[in-house]
């Protein structure tokens, strides 16, 4: 199956700093990438959808200025959590999709801990 | 929009028994239904999926059934093994868009 790499797997940062998370599709070109947030023992919550070369579409309630998404190429999307605060601590997961079949392949997730 | 409900939220079975997880959806336009397995601290992994033009799909010990009329689909795991223990998510997606609507997840525990 298709491989999606997400980096880093775990990051700890101080409150007020910014953190960048990378999502790469290793063996296919991802026309669309998705960013999710997951709280413990809960389902995945879609934050935004991004298509290569265009602005991301954010879900209601997600601050686009706080969660900056860049999808500069067909194999790379980044999520930057700006001025992170403890309430931003969570598990962030990306997924990538290609073609018309709508199959999403997920990265391994990034655990963000803001002190 | 689509609303996906998943039951049960937790499920414990003895090793070797079968496990069944059920999901219902609300949007009749949904036509793709994947199932994901998520182990602790990891991202979801696609284990099986089904499209609306078929009623059942099987892959070794895993099968998925779809009832379009009733708008529900189920995951069946036979001969369960301890390594099947994980959280399972169903999802539904409409041909009109590419957004997944996830169920709330089922935590499956297989007792050795």
- A6-48 confidence digits (pLDDT tens): 999 999 999 999 999 999 999 888 889 999 999 988 999 999 9
State the best of A43, A46, A56, A92 to mutate against chain B, taking most chain B CBs within 10 Å.
Answer: A43
Assess A1–B contact: CB distance below 8 Å, yes or no.
yes
> How many residue pairs from chains A and B have C-beta atoms closer than 8 A?
48
Q: Do A42 and B98 touch (CB under 8 A)?
A: no
The alpha carbon of residue A18 is apart from the nearest alpha carbon of chain B, in Å, by 22
Q: Which residues contact A60 (CB under 8 A, 6 or more apart)?
A: none
Model confidence at B98: pLDDT above 80: no
Closest CA to A4 of A111, A53, A77, A79: A77
**A95 contacts in chain B (CB < 8 Å):** 43
Q: What is the pLDDT of residues B20-55, one digit of tens each?
A: 999 999 988 899 999 999 999 899 999 999 998 889
Assess A25–B contact: CB distance below 8 Å, yes or no.
no
Give the integer Cα–Cα distance in Å for B8 and A71: 37
pLDDT band at B100 (very low <50, low <70, confident <90, very high): confident
Q: What is the pLDDT of residues B69-91, one digit of tens each?
A: 999 999 999 999 999 999 999 99
Task: Give the one of B45, B89, B99 whose C-beta lies nearest to A49's C-beta.
Answer: B99
Partner B, chain A 38-77, Cβ-Cβ below 8 Å: 41-44, 46, 49
Give the integer Cα–Cα distance in Å for A68 and A102: 24
Model confidence at B61: pLDDT above 80: yes
**A46 contacts in chain B (CB < 8 Å):** 99-100
Q: Do B98 and A32 touch (CB under 8 A)?
A: yes
């Amino acid at each position: 199956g298709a491989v999606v790499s997400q980096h880093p797997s775990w990051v700890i940062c101080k409150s007020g700093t910014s953190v960048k998370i990378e999502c790469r599709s290793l063996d296919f070109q991802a026309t669309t990438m998705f960013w999710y947030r997951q709280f413990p023992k809960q389902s995945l919550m879609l934050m935004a959808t991004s298509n290569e070369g265009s602005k991301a579409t954010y879900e209601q309630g997600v601050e686009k200025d706080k969660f900056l998404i860049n999808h500069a190429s067909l194999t790379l999307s980044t999520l930057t959590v700006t001025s992170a605060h403890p309430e931003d601590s969570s598990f962030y997961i990306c997924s990538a999709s290609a073609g018309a079949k709508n199959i999403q392949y997920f990265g391994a997730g990034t655990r963000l801990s803001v002190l | 929009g689509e609303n996906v409900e998943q039951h049960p939220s937790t499920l414990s079975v003895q090793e070797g028994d079968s496990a069944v997880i059920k999901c219902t959806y609300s949007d009749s336009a949904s036509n793709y239904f994947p199932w994901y397995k998520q182990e602790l601290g990891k991202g979801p992994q696609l284990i099986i999926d089904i499209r609306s033009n078929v009623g059942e799909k099987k892959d070794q010990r895993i099968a998925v059934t779809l009832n379009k009329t009733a708008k529900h689909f189920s995951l069946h795991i036979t001969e369960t093994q301890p390594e099947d223990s994980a959280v399972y998510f169903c999802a539904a997606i409409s041909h009109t868009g590419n957004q997944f609507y996830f169920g709330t997840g089922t935590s499956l525990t297989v007792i050795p």
